Structure 1
Amino acid sequence: MGQQQHNGTSHHHHCQYHHSVAAPHNITTTGSSNRSCSSATMMMMMNTTQASIWMDEDYERVPIGSCLNEQTKLQNSYVFKDVYIENLMPRKAKQEETAESIPSHWVMKGSKLLEFKNPWDGFKQPSTGDVFKFQREMALNKQIIPSNDELPQIKPNINLLNNPDIHSVRGDAPQVTWIGHSTFLIQYRGVNILTDPVFSERCSPVQFMGPNRIKPLPITIDNLPTIHFVIISHNHYDHLDYYAITALQKHHDPIILLPYRMKYDWMEKFYNEKNHSALSKLKLMELDWWKSTSFNASIGLDKDSSERVESNFTFTYMPAQHWSMRSGFDRNEALWGSWGVQCTFVNPSSDVSQTKSQSESIENVSNTACNTLEIAENVKMEGVTSDSCQTHTQEQHTEEVNMNSNDNIKSYKMWFAGDTGYSKECFTEIGNRFGPIDLSFIPIGAYEPRWMMKYQHINPDEAVQIALDIKSKKQISMHWGTFILTTEPIMQPKKDLEECLKQRGLDSSFFVTMCHGDTMLATSSNDIESTSMAELSMNEKKLVETVILAETISTQDRQAVIEEKL
């Protein structure tokens, strides 16, 4: 399989990686004394020239290297210069595994994990006959491509992507851009997250056949702002794109969060070719359901001051009702699921008071966003673990989430559904353990014919029900209007969603659709900033642009700008 060419310059940023685990233990760093740390204070920032972390015997230390000056030769690589870092990975469980300790979604053959399954009653895997019948229906299905008026596309504002709205930087709301299908650029508190990146013309093993885009790609990988994190829901070709991942590694070198058993050799090739194979342990991270990994991010608001936005991002891999297959011989060998992202930040009131005008912040965000990204990674993944998620109570979850709760700590929760069929049990559990959720990305397309798609793809009515099950405040539609994957008309998902919201008595702002390339501030309130620009009249667009501009300049100039624009 040939590698797609991507032109453009890379963005070089200086970052420091610091790793720890959640269990209490002692830490020793050069120039400091021993101290005992609780799980609430485990994330540490190391600014010494040498640092070592000592763990108990249940953990092993995997040294990444000392004074890795050669790392700077990698495009957009994280710089480990003058810092010694150890990647702390849990050792495999020592005890004998019993049937009761095996997760319910694992299929075992003796002591070996064979594949995965949907553990809920009622799921049905399509038979070979079903697949052939569906393919015949697809061959006879003649779709009409919507006009640009029906399905408009917006050219992304590159300056806005490189310099996000100040509200997204200080934590009021994430800035979201829909690139197409299930690919979103989420920008929040200085951190850029890309979901299920698919940038190829076709979602297929090869680029000369298979489903092709009905709308051109609104932006290329080399034009994206620096990507810090990539989350992948599963391995189907409309969610995992070989060309996109390899190009992202080349141009951005992000941390890629993967489902369990989905770290493919071709993903590790980038690091192996640079003789830094150990980096794959840092940059390619696999998680099982209800396992989490956390990162601390420190973003400077102004390069000339010490004021910073301090955040913790916790990524949790969660269930979904689906399946996986990358070739004809690996069905369900890799896990599938959804992602919960929780951003917790300290002293939000000081964030706002420290925030200056957008023009003052732009230079910092564009030039030093990742320079000051100090990340502490906390992997809770084990080789074979007990199925603790099945006995985890809502009381325990609330206690964990709110263990540091006070007036100076706030959090924002997002949920990315990936692909899924509907299971009441699955999504009620997510709502109980992770809800309430501020913003969700939920699929609404690829659901006909129902006899084939019912168990693997939700329809718009089920999408709304999931939003209610998981206790989510605001939803953005995905998985529609980009590729023709099933038999429903291309615009039918949007129409069915609008009708469903009316029938349920829900406001249209509860579950919105975006245009390809569109960027919005995903506020939970029904205000002007949460409205997709593509759905506004020219006068309304003018007013939105004026309000946003007025928010980013000094108070004394605001009235003059409003009068000039209106």
Structure 2
Amino acid sequence: MNRRTLLKALGLPVIAATGALGWMTAARAVNRYYEGPVTDHFDGVRFFSPGQPQDKGFLELARWQLGGGRKGWPDSFPSPFQDKPPAEVQGLRTALIGHASFLIQVAGLNILTDPVLSDRASPVSFAGPKRVNPPGIAFNDLPPIHAVLITHNHYDHLDTETLGRLWQRDRPKIIAPLGNDAVIRAEHPEIPVETRDWGGAVDLGNGVTAHFEPAYHWSARGINDRRMALWCAYVLTTPSGTIYHIGDTGFGDGRIFHAVRERFDRPRLAHLPIGAYEPRWFMEPQHMNPEDAVKVLAIIEAEQALGHHWGTFRLTNEGVDEPPQELAAALQAAEIPAERFRPLRPGEAWTRSG
């Protein structure tokens, strides 16, 4: 596999080339997905998280890949759960399909986050991270989908094959941060996508609104489009309470989490990533570990947190079952009851009436 294919399959933050020539080329780049005014998080070509570390370079990527320390994963890590959700829920129900893919059922709406039902989180079918458990909800068992929320364009979060199947079946409203409409339309020109900047919002109907909030992450589909599309977290305000969904983020200075708590008050439910965090020297700016996720829970004071982004795709160095173990230790150290922050397996559901 050549370098280009390897980097696309890994979906990692890399620059177009190393050295002065690479940075000069990047400086002359034109954004292929989005045109808009310069803001405090967009320089006219690339998006960024103000005051936070950005890309790692190719040499750092090579240091990680060649440095050892990667724990083995089994070829199969089946979940004991398989969900067959109801067609409609008036209270609040959420079920993990796998990785960062959730089915949220609230106020009569069925909402998917980052739906990835393909066998690999990769641009190619023959290489890249392969799932070690089937989707916790089979495609044919999904109820009619009203909305799809995309957090960013990495292959473990934006699966154009799954989006195409959903569009053909249900014609859901698809929303995403700036620039991701172009990524989706490149594969499916027939699919309309509503995009917003951080601070924007989309009315999903039935009293449910999706708010676009910052995350400390990045984006890329290949080696020449790093940070050309925006990334986000979502806050859903609903008749059954507020839901805070993060696809990927680092903890950073913690400011974005304090802002959510101040703006939206205490969430009823938070979906917090707890995987893809080792080695810390490489992953820390963009991926929380379980200890970081517990700090977020303490800041936002969510009634209930559910851990995701672990145990489905092998992306980083930690073992397949290390995230829930480290989460249990972090909760104990913070004197937070274990039931308040549950690490979900695919097919596992959480329900709250009212």
- For the aligned pair, the TM-score class normalised by the smaller chain equals 0.7 to 0.9
- Confirm or deny: 8 A CA contact 1:322 1:456 kept in the other structure: yes
Q: Deviations over 1:70-127 (max 9, x none)?
A: xxxxxxxxxxxxxxxxxxxxxx99xxx7xxxx531111xxxxx211011024x24212
- Confirm or deny: 8 A CA contact 1:317 1:340 kept in the other structure: yes
In the alignment, which residue of structure 2 is the partner of 1:331? 226
Among residues 142, 161, 166, which one is paired with 1:243 in the alignment?
161
Residue identity matched to 1:145: P
CA distance 1:179–1:239, shift in 2 (3 Å): same
How many angstroms apart in 2 are the aligned matches of 1:458 and 1:288?
Answer: 23
Q: Deviations over 1:227-256 (max 9, x none)?
A: 001001000000001111111111111000
1:146 Cα offset (Å):
8.7
Among residues 136, 146, 156, which one is paired with 1:228 in the alignment?
146
CA distance 1:475–1:432, shift in 2 (3 Å): same
Matches within 5 A, 1:220-299: 220-264=138-182, 266-267=184-185, 272=190, 283-297=192-206
- Name the SS for the 2:157 alignment partner: coil
In the alignment, which residue of structure 2 is the partner of 1:105? 41
In the alignment, which residue of structure 1 is the partner of 2:210? 315
Matches within 5 A, 1:66-81: none
1:155 corresponds to 2:78: no
How many angstroms apart in 1 are the aligned matches of 2:135 and 2:187?
Answer: 27
- Name the SS for the 1:427 alignment partner: helix
Q: Deviations over 1:269-297 (max 9, x none)?
A: 7564xxxxxxx5xx410010011121332
Structure scoring higher RCO (CA < 8 A, sep ≥ 6) equals: 2
- Name the SS for the 1:145 alignment partner: coil
How many angstroms apart in 1 are the aligned matches of 2:124 and 2:169?
Answer: 22
- Name the SS for the 2:145 alignment partner: coil
Q: How many residues align?
A: 319
- Choose 465-474 or 453-462, whichever is displaced more: 465-474
In the alignment, which residue of structure 1 is the partner of 2:70? 141
Matches within 5 A, 1:92-131: 102-107=38-43, 113-121=44-52, 123-131=53-61
How many angstroms apart in 2 are the aligned matches of 1:328 and 1:144?
Answer: 27
CA distance 1:206–1:146, shift in 2 (3 Å): closer
Residue identity matched to 2:201: S
Matches within 5 A, 1:23-422: 102-107=38-43, 113-121=44-52, 123-137=53-67, 141-145=70-74, 152-156=79-83, 158=84, 161-164=85-88, 168-169=89-90, 171=91, 174-264=92-182, 266-267=184-185, 272=190, 283-297=192-206, 312-344=207-239, 412-422=241-251
CA distance 1:187–1:427, shift in 2 (3 Å): same
1:182 Cα offset (Å):
0.3
Q: Deviations over 1:305-338 (max 9, x none)?
A: xxxxxxx111110000001001111110000110
Q: Deviations over 1:382-438 (max 9, x none)?
A: xxxxxxxxxxxxxxxxxxxxxxxxxxxxx5100111100112122111221122111
Residue identity matched to 2:48: K
- Name the SS for the 2:65 alignment partner: helix
**What percent of counterpart residues are identical?**
33
Q: TM-score, normalised by structure 1?
A: 0.54
Q: Deviations over 1:519-545 (max 9, x none)?
A: 231469xxxxxxxxxxxxxxxxxxxxx
In the alignment, which residue of structure 2 is the partner of 1:489? 319
- Confirm or deny: 8 A CA contact 2:249 2:288 kept in the other structure: yes
- Name the SS for the 2:281 alignment partner: helix
- Confirm or deny: 8 A CA contact 2:246 2:271 kept in the other structure: yes
- Confirm or deny: 8 A CA contact 1:222 1:251 kept in the other structure: no
- Confirm or deny: 8 A CA contact 1:125 1:455 kept in the other structure: no
Q: Deviations over 1:495-535 (max 9, x none)?
A: 000011111111112111222112231469xxxxxxxxxxx
- Confirm or deny: 8 A CA contact 1:179 1:185 kept in the other structure: yes
Larger gyration radius, structure 1 or structure 2: 1
Show structure 2 runs of 5+ residues with no match.
1-34
Residue identity matched to 1:509: E
Higher helix share: 1
How many angstroms apart in 1 are the aligned matches of 2:353 and 2:65?
Answer: 41
Residue identity matched to 1:491: D
Q: TM-score, normalised by structure 2?
A: 0.84
Residue identity matched to 1:419: D
